[in-house]
């Protein structure tokens, strides 16, 4: 079996804040999404003609009409939607460490970082508006060069 990560989904009551984070901070774009019975957005990391590029699915919670979401994905207490829960973080491989440093600092997005020399990675950790931890993995050589 070939197994690769397809996407991750986030439930939120604030679609716009999540859209802005994934678009403005990570450079993802809003693309096509099936007509599900609840609000939401699919955020793409590449061309919109391939749903495999829809790496983040943002699930909107409509407090005035939650029936479609509950019927489709089940009910979740809003209190449980803060942070990553049992999932510690979501990680992406990336390049352009110096540009991302400048990008995050210009937008006042807090982050922490570390280098893992034994596997050749330099990592940045930041949080989306729902408190989900996002890890960006860069080649350690970019840190040495920057």
C-beta separation of 140 from 117 below 8 A: yes
Residues 26 and 57 in one domain: yes
Of 81, 109, 127, the position where a domain reaches its end is 81
User: For residue 108, is it within any domain?
Assistant: yes
Residues 18 and 77 in one domain: yes
Element (H, E) at 133: strand 133-139
Residues 57 and 111 in one domain: no
C-beta separation of 10 from 57 below 8 A: yes
User: For residue 111, is it within any domain?
Assistant: yes
The SS3 call for residue 32 is coil
What string of pLDDT tens digits covers the 146 residues of the chain?
777 789 999 989 899 999 999 999 999 999 999 999 999 999 999 999 999 999 999 998 888 887 888 887 787 777 667 777 767 899 999 999 999 999 999 999 999 999 998 999 999 999 999 999 999 999 999 986 55
Enclosing domain of residue 121: 90-145
As beta bridge partners, residue 114 has 123
Residues 101 and 48 in one domain: no
Which of 55, 13, 6 lies closest to 31 in space, CA to CA? 55
């Amino acid at each position: 079996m070939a197994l690769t990560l397809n996407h991750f989904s986030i439930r939120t009551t604030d679609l716009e804040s999540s859209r802005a984070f994934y678009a403005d901070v990570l450079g993802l774009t809003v693309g096509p999404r099936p007509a599900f019975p609840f609000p939401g957005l699919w955020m793409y990391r590449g061309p919109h003609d391939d749903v495999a590029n829809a790496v983040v699915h943002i699930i909107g919670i409509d407090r005035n009409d939650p029936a479609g979401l509950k019927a489709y994905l089940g009910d979740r207490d809003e209190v449980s939607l803060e942070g990553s829960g049992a999932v510690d973080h979501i990680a992406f491989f990336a390049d352009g460490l110096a540009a991302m440093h400048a990008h995050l600092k210009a937008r006042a997005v807090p982050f922490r970082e570390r280098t893992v020399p034994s596997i050749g990675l330099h990592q940045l950790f930041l949080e989306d508006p729902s408190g989900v931890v996002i890890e960006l993995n860069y080649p350690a050589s970019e840190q040495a060069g920057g």
